[in-house]
Each structure stands twice: as C-alpha cells, then as structure tokens.
Structure 1
Amino acid sequence: METTEADGSLREAAGKVQQAAGDLLGDAGVQVSGKARELRAKAQQLYADLASVARESTLERPLTALAIAAGAGFILGLLRAASRQNRD
C-alpha cells in the first residue's frame, strides 16, 4: 500500500469518527464536516488507485502510452490553434 492510499484510509476513518461524534452530540456541523472529510479521503484513494493503474499500464505498454500522450498533445495543439484563430 502506498503512502497516499494509507493516508486516504486514515483520513476516511477519521471522517467516520468525526461524523459519529457529530451524531452523538447532535451537532449537524460536525456531522457534515465528518462526511466531507470521509468523501475527500475516498477521492484521494480513488486518485491513488488510478495513478497506480496508469503507472502499471505505462510500464507494461510504454509504446502505447507514448502514442496516447502524442495523440493527446496533437489534439490539444489543434484545439489551441483553433481557439487562437477564433479570437482574431
């Protein structure tokens, strides 16, 4: 487990604890803050998982990754050129 994933798990647990404390105290602000913290942690874990998959895919198929990056760069270049022409 990478550091980012471990951080995400800890933050998710902290969010659940904070939300439970808000439930016990009847404090809606603490409940919402806990839920937000939990959701932020889940998003962080998802990002870490996606980054890991992308890293593994790049190592397994470097030429495919290079072709995708080149294609994305080409498309972004076309879009930028088109937007500059529209401004003139």
Structure 2
Amino acid sequence: MVQDQIEGAAQKVAGKVQDTVGALTGDEQMQAEGKVRQAFGNLQESYGQTVDQVRVAVASQPIQGVLIAAAVGFVLGALWNRDR
C-alpha cells in the first residue's frame, strides 16, 4: 500500500467523524469541513491507488513504461513550445 492510500483512508475516517459530530451538534461548518475532508481523503486514496498501479505496470513492462514516458514528455514539450 502506498502512503497516500493510507493517509487518504485516515482522512476519510476523520472526515466522517467530523461530519457526524457536526450533524449531532448542529454545527454546519464542522459538518461541511468533514465532508470536504472526506472528499480530499477519497481523492488522495485514489491518487495512491493510481500511483501503485502505474508502478506495478512499469515494473512488469519497463520498455512500455519508458515509451509512454517519452511520449508524454514529447506531448508536454510540444504544448510548452506552442504557448510561447
């Protein structure tokens, strides 16, 4: 498991607790902050899963990974030069 996945899961749990406490106490700001924290946790966890999947894919097919990285670099370079 990647660190981002662990931190994302922790953010989701903390956000859920914060959301629940806000709902029980009637504190709408705390409840909104809890929902934002949950959303951030979901995003961070998804990012960690994606990074892990890319790492596994590149490890199993390194040449394909190098070719994809080169293609992405070429496209980014073309976009960078086009704006100037």
When the two structures are superposed, what TM-score results if normalisation uses the length of structure 2? Answer: 0.89
**3-state DSSP of counterpart to 1:34:** helix
User: Could you say which residue in structure 2 is the equivalent of 1:4?
Assistant: 4
Q: How does 1:41-60 map to 2 (within 5 A)?
A: 41-60=41-60
Give how far 1:9 is off: 1.3
**3-state DSSP of counterpart to 1:53:** helix
Give how far 1:79 is off: 2.5
Over the residues paired in the alignment, what is the CA RMSD in angstroms?
A: 1.3
Q: Distance in 2 between matches of 1:74 and 1:6?
A: 33
Identical pairs, percent: 33
Q: Distance in 2 between matches of 1:20 and 1:72?
A: 43
Amino acid at match of 1:56: V
Q: How does 1:12-51 map to 2 (within 5 A)?
A: 12-51=12-51
- CA 1:82/1:7 → structure 2, altered by over 3 Å: closer, same or farther? closer
Q: What runs of 5+ residues in structure 2 fail to find an aligned partner?
A: none
**3-state DSSP of counterpart to 1:50:** helix
Q: Distance in 2 between matches of 1:35 and 1:9?
A: 14
Give how far 1:7 is off: 1.7
Q: Which has the higher contact order (CA 8 A, sep 6+)?
A: 2
Q: Count matched residues.
A: 84
